[in-house]
A and B are shown apart, each in its own frame.
Chain A
Amino acid sequence: MDIVKFSIPEIIFGRGAMKYAGLCAKRLGAEKPMVVSDPGLREAGWVSRLFDVLAAEGLEWCYFEDVVSNPRDTQVGHGALFYAEQKADVIIALGGGSPMDAAKGIAIVVGNGGSIHDYEGANRIHRPLPPMVFLPSTAGSGSDISQFAIITDTRRRLKMTIVSRTLVPNISIIDPMLLVTKPHHLVLAAAVDALAHAVESYVSVIASPFTELQSLKAIEIIAAHLPRAAQESSLDVLESLSIASTAAGMAFSNASLGADHALAHSLGGMFDVLHGEVHSVLLPAVMRFNLEHAMAKLAHIGKILTGKKWKSARTAALAGIEAMESLFLSLGMKHRLRDLVPDRDQLPTVCRMAAQDACLLTNPRPATWEDLLAICEEAW
C-alpha cells in the first residue's frame, strides 16, 4: 500500500451544537469574527441565533451575506475587502456549500493577498489563513470537512477548483437542527450530493482503508434513510443524513472524487445549475463508464444499495446502478441532462472544461473529453 494521508478538522456533532460556535471562535482568538451566510438562513432565523451565541461569549461580529449559489470570484473579492475594513479575525461560515466555499475564498485572499484566481489548482497557498469555524446547513456539500474550495470564475464561466490542506477548516460544528428549516428538495439534493461523494471517493484511485470505511458507511446510511427522508424529514432522519454527509466528506476530502464531480463543476460554472441536482443525472452514467475499472467496489456498492447478494460482481454493480436510478426517480429528481442544460451544442465545451478538472485525476478509469462527452450523451 502506498503512503496515505487522512486529515479532517475538529468536528463537533450533535443537536444544538451551534451553541459552541462562540466558544470555538473565541478559543481560536476571535474578538470580532466575520460571519458569512446567505439570505435564506437569515430569513430562517439561524443567523440571529448565531449572533446570540456570539454575543453570549462577549464577541463582536460583522456580517457578510453577498453570496449566491455557486459563489463567485467577485463576491470573494468583496468579502475580503469587507473583512479588512471591519478588521475581523476568525471567519465563521453558516450555510451550505456556497457560503462555506465563499468563506474559504475570502480566507485565502485576506491571508495571502492578490485575487482568488492566483490560487486556482493545488497547493498554491503559502501563507496561513484566518482561523475558520464552519457550521454546515446542508447534509451534503462536505465543504466543512474538505480541503477543496470551488469558486466560479465569472469571466471564464468555469468553476475553479482550489485544493490545499490549509483549506480544511479548524473546527466544523455540525448541528442537524439546522436542516429542519431547509426546503425539502434541497435536503434531498444535498443527500444525493453526499451519496455521490461517497461513491466517487470509494472508487477513487487514491482511496485508502481510512476513506473507504467512511465512504461505505455514508452509502449505507444514505441508502437506509434517503427513501424515508422523501416521506418525512424527522430530526432522526436529518441527523442520520448529517452523519452520512460528514462521513462522505471525510472520505472525499482525502480520497478526492471522479468524473461525475468534474462534469458537475463544469456544468455549474457554465449554466449555474444547482450542484446537488447534477448527480442524479450523471452519477449512474459515470458509474457505468467506470464499471470495468472498479468492478469489485461497484459490486460492493450494489450489494449495499440493493440489500441483496448477487451471483457475479458485474450483476451486483449493475443492479446497484439501477437501484440508484430508481431511487432518484422515486425522489422525483431530474434524471436527464436535457432537463438541466438548455443547449446540447454546448456539451463539448462543458466536457473540454471538465477534462481539466482536478477531480478527474482520481477517476478509476482515465477519461478524455470525448469520453466525458459520451457520458453526457448517454445522460441526455
Chain B
Amino acid sequence: MKTPPKLEDLIGIEYSKLGFFREAQEKIAQLHASTVELERRRQQIQAILDGITDVMAVITPEGRITSVNRVYYEVFGDSSPVGRACYRVFRKQEKPCRPCPADIAFRTNRLCRQEHIYTVGDVTRHFEITASPLRDSQGRPCHILLLKRDVTLEREYQAKLNHAEKMSTVGLLAAGVAHEINNPLTAILGFAQAIKKRLPEVRDRLPEDFGSDLEEYMGIILDECARCQEIVQGLLSFSRPHSGTMIAVDLNGCVRDTVRLIRHKLKEYPHIDLHQECAPDLPPIRATPSDIKQLLLNLLLNAVDAMADQRGRIVIRTGIRGAEHVVLEVRDTGCGIAPKDLGKIFDPFFTTKPVGRGTGMGLSMCYTIAQAHDASIEVESRQGEGSAFRVVFRKMT
C-alpha cells in the first residue's frame, strides 16, 4: 500500500514544476563529450587513411566517387572528383572499363584484385587495383573501396631482374662454351706450331710461291689462334666465381688485361679513342684480380655506351693519391649524367639505357666490389660533357 498523502504533500513547498533544464544540460554535456570523442576518432581514422600511400577512393555501385584520400590529389591533381564517374576521373574514358574490378567486387561481394596499365597525365603507370565491397548492416555491398597501388617501378625492376638473370645464365653458358672451345683451340695451335716447325724441312721441296704462301698462312693461323685464346681466357677469368681470396695486385696489370678484352669490342666503335696513362712504379693493392677487372670492365662499357653515337675519348689513368691511396680513373667525353639521376646510379637496376641494352646492374656491381675492397668511388659528371669515375683503393701495407 502506498503511503497516503500528508498535508505537507498538498502544500508541496519542496516540489515545483519539473523542467527539462537539467536533463537538457546533461544531454548537452553528453552530446558534447561524444562529439569530442567522435572528432578524435575521426582524426585518428583520417590519419590512418592519410598514412595509406596508395590512391584510395570510395565509389557507389554506379561508379560515382563519394570520397578520396590525400594521395589521390598527389597523383591525379587538385580538382575534387567527388560525384564524378570513376572511369572519367581515373582514365578519361566515356564508358565504364571492361573488366571493372569494382563491378566484379560489387556483384560477387568479394574482394577483387587486378593489374591495369593506363596513362595519368603523360606518364604511363602500372596500377595494382584492389576493389573491396563495403557492406551495410545486412552484409550486402553498398559501396566499393578502391585502392590503387602504383607498381610501375616494381614492375620495371622485376623486368630488369629477369633480364639480369637471363644475362647471367647466358654468361654461364658462354663460360662453358669458352671452356669447350679452349681444348680444340689448343690442339689447332699445337698442330699449327708443329707444322710451322717442320715447314723449313720441306721448304726446298715446295714450289717457291706456294712455300711463302704457306708460311704466311701459318703465321696468320697462329696469330688468330693466339687472339682466340686471349678472348677465351678473358671470358673464363670473368665468369670464374669470385674466389674471394685477396692477393697483391698490380693495378696496371689489371688495366692491361681488361683493355685487351675490350679492344675487339672497340673495333665496332672506330670513333672512340682509348688512352691509357698508367703511372709507373704503382704500389700493389690487396684485391681479387677478377673483381678489379670486372669493375674496370663495367666502367669502360659504360663509357663506351655514353659515347655510342658521337666522337670521343676514353682515358684510363692510374696514380697515387697522398701516402695511402691508389686511384684508378676512367674518364669519358660522353653524354654525362643528368643531375637528377646522380643519386640513383649505384642503385641496382637503375639504368637510362633502353631495355635490352643495360641491366642496370653494372655500377651496382662496381659499388659492391669497391665496398668489398674497402675502396670508395667518386663520380664527377657534367651533362653533355662527360663523366669521370674514380675508384680510390688503399695501398697494400
Q: Which residues of B contact A361 (CB under 8 A)?
A: 5-7, 10
Q: How far is the CA of A277 from the CA of B19 in the complex (A)?
A: 36
A122 to B9, Cβ gap below 8 A? yes
Set B10, B16, B20, B23: member contacting A206, Cβ < 8 A: B10
The answer to whether A168 and B17 touch (CB under 8 A), given A123-B12, A361-B10, A362-B10, is yes
A4 to B17, Cβ gap below 8 A? no
CB distance from A4 to the nearest CB of B (A): 7
A5 to B13, Cβ gap below 8 A? yes
Q: Which of A161-191 contact B (CB under 8 A)?
A: 161, 163-166, 168, 170
Report how many residues on chain B are interfacial, defined by Cβ distance under 8 Å. Answer: 18
B16 to A166, Cβ gap below 8 A? yes
Give chain B's interface secondary structure class: loop
Q: How far is the CA of A251 from the CA of B118 in the complex (A)?
A: 88
A121 to B18, Cβ gap below 8 A? no
CB distance from B5 to the nearest CB of A (A): 3
B12 to A163, Cβ gap below 8 A? yes
B2 in the interface (beta carbon within 8 A): yes
A165 to B19, Cβ gap below 8 A? no
Q: Taking each of B2, B6, B13, B18, which has the highest tally of chain A beta carbons within 10 Å of its own beta carbon?
A: B18
Q: How far is the CA of A256 from the CA of B9 in the complex (A)?
A: 11
- Which residue of chain B has the shortest Cβ distance to A162 in the bound complex? B5
Q: Which of B7-50 contact A (CB under 8 A)?
A: 7, 9-13, 15-20, 23
- Which residue of chain B has the shortest Cβ distance to A255 in the bound complex? B10
B13 to A362, Cβ gap below 8 A? no
A165 to B16, Cβ gap below 8 A? yes
Set A122, A125, A164: member contacting B6, Cβ < 8 A: A122
Q: Which residues of B contact A5 (CB under 8 A)?
A: 11-13
Q: Which of A247-275 contact B (CB under 8 A)?
A: 254, 256
Q: How far is the CA of A337 from the CA of B243 in the complex (A)?
A: 130
Q: Which residues of A contact B23 (CB under 8 A)?
A: 127-128
The answer to whether A129 and B18 touch (CB under 8 A), given A121-B5, A122-B5, is yes
- Which residue of chain B has the shortest Cβ distance to A2 in the bound complex? B11
A21 in the interface (beta carbon within 8 A): no
Q: Which residues of A contact B6 (CB under 8 A)?
A: 122, 361
A165 to B2, Cβ gap below 8 A? no
Q: How far is the CA of A168 from the CA of B16 in the complex (A)?
A: 9
A358 to B5, Cβ gap below 8 A? yes
Report how many residues on chain A are interfacial, defined by Cβ distance under 8 Å. Answer: 30
Q: How far is the CA of A170 from the CA of B10 in the complex (A)?
A: 19
CB distance from B63 to the nearest CB of A (A): 38
A164 to B15, Cβ gap below 8 A? yes
Q: How far is the CA of A164 from the CA of B16 in the complex (A)?
A: 8
Set B5, B7, B17, B20: member contacting A165, Cβ < 8 A: B17
CB distance from B28 to the nearest CB of A (A): 15
A356 to B4, Cβ gap below 8 A? yes
Q: Which residues of A contact B18 (CB under 8 A)?
A: 125-129, 166
B79 in the interface (beta carbon within 8 A): no
Q: How far is the CA of A310 from the CA of B302 in the complex (A)?
A: 138
Q: Which residues of A contact B20 (CB under 8 A)?
A: 128
B183 in the interface (beta carbon within 8 A): no
Set A121, A161, A166, A362: member contacting B7, Cβ < 8 A: A362
CB distance from B11 to the nearest CB of A (A): 6
- Which residue of chain A has the shortest Cβ distance to B2 in the bound complex? A121
B138 in the interface (beta carbon within 8 A): no
- Which residue of chain A has the shortest Cβ distance to B3 in the bound complex? A121
The answer to whether A122 and B12 touch (CB under 8 A), given A128-B20, A358-B5, is yes
CB distance from B16 to the nearest CB of A (A): 5
CB distance from A252 to the nearest CB of B (A): 10
Set B3, B9, B17: member contacting A166, Cβ < 8 A: B17
B4 to A165, Cβ gap below 8 A? no
A214 in the interface (beta carbon within 8 A): no
Q: Which residues of A contact B3 (CB under 8 A)?
A: 121
Q: How far is the CA of A170 from the CA of B296 in the complex (A)?
A: 100
A347 in the interface (beta carbon within 8 A): no
A84 in the interface (beta carbon within 8 A): no
Q: Which residues of A contact B2 (CB under 8 A)?
A: 120-121, 124
Q: Which residues of B contact A290 (CB under 8 A)?
A: none
Q: How far is the CA of A5 from the CA of B5 in the complex (A)?
A: 17
Q: Which residues of A contact B4 (CB under 8 A)?
A: 121, 356, 358
The answer to whether A206 and B17 touch (CB under 8 A), given A121-B4, A163-B5, A361-B5, is no
A147 in the interface (beta carbon within 8 A): yes
Q: How far is the CA of A128 from the CA of B20 in the complex (A)?
A: 6
Q: Which residues of B contact A206 (CB under 8 A)?
A: 7, 10-11
A1 in the interface (beta carbon within 8 A): no
Q: Taking each of A121, A123, A356, which has the highest tally of chain B beta carbons within 10 Å of its own beta carbon?
A: A123
Set A123, A127, A128: member contacting B15, Cβ < 8 A: A123
A205 in the interface (beta carbon within 8 A): yes
Q: How far is the CA of A254 from the CA of B20 in the complex (A)?
A: 24
Q: Which residues of B contact A254 (CB under 8 A)?
A: 11
CB distance from A172 to the nearest CB of B (A): 13
CB distance from B2 to the nearest CB of A (A): 5
- Which residue of chain A has the shortest Cβ distance to B10 in the bound complex? A256
CB distance from A306 to the nearest CB of B (A): 31
Q: Which residues of A contact B12 (CB under 8 A)?
A: 5, 122-123, 147, 163-165
- Which residue of chain B has the shortest Cβ distance to A161 in the bound complex? B5
Q: Which of A1-30 contact B (CB under 8 A)?
A: 3-5, 7
B15 to A165, Cβ gap below 8 A? yes
Q: How far is the CA of A5 from the CA of B11 in the complex (A)?
A: 6
B9 to A123, Cβ gap below 8 A? yes
- Which residue of chain B has the shortest Cβ distance to A204 in the bound complex? B10
- Which residue of chain B has the shortest Cβ distance to A111 in the bound complex? B18
Cβ contacts A182-217/B at 8 Å (1 or 0 each): 000000000000000000000001100000000000
Q: Taking each of B7, B9, B11, which has the highest tally of chain A beta carbons within 10 Å of its own beta carbon?
A: B11
Q: Which residues of B contact A121 (CB under 8 A)?
A: 2-5, 9
Q: How far is the CA of A147 from the CA of B10 in the complex (A)?
A: 9
- Which residue of chain B has the shortest Cβ distance to A128 in the bound complex? B18
Q: Which residues of A contact B16 (CB under 8 A)?
A: 7, 165-166
Q: How far is the CA of A124 from the CA of B6 in the complex (A)?
A: 13
Q: Which of A124-141 contact B (CB under 8 A)?
A: 124-129
4 closest A-B pairs (Cβ-Cβ)? A122-B9, A122-B5, A128-B18, A358-B5
27 residue pairs bridging A and B, Cβ less than 8 Å apart: A121-B2, A121-B3, A121-B5, A121-B9, A123-B5, A123-B12, A128-B18, A147-B12, A161-B5, A163-B10, A163-B12, A164-B12, A165-B12, A165-B16, A166-B15, A166-B16, A166-B18, A168-B17, A205-B7, A206-B7, A256-B10, A358-B4, A358-B5, A358-B9, A361-B5, A361-B7, A362-B10
Beyond contacts A5-B12, A163-B10: 16 other A-B pairs, Cβ-Cβ < 8 A, are A7-B16, A121-B2, A121-B3, A122-B10, A123-B9, A125-B18, A128-B19, A129-B18, A161-B5, A165-B12, A166-B16, A168-B17, A205-B7, A206-B7, A356-B4, A358-B4
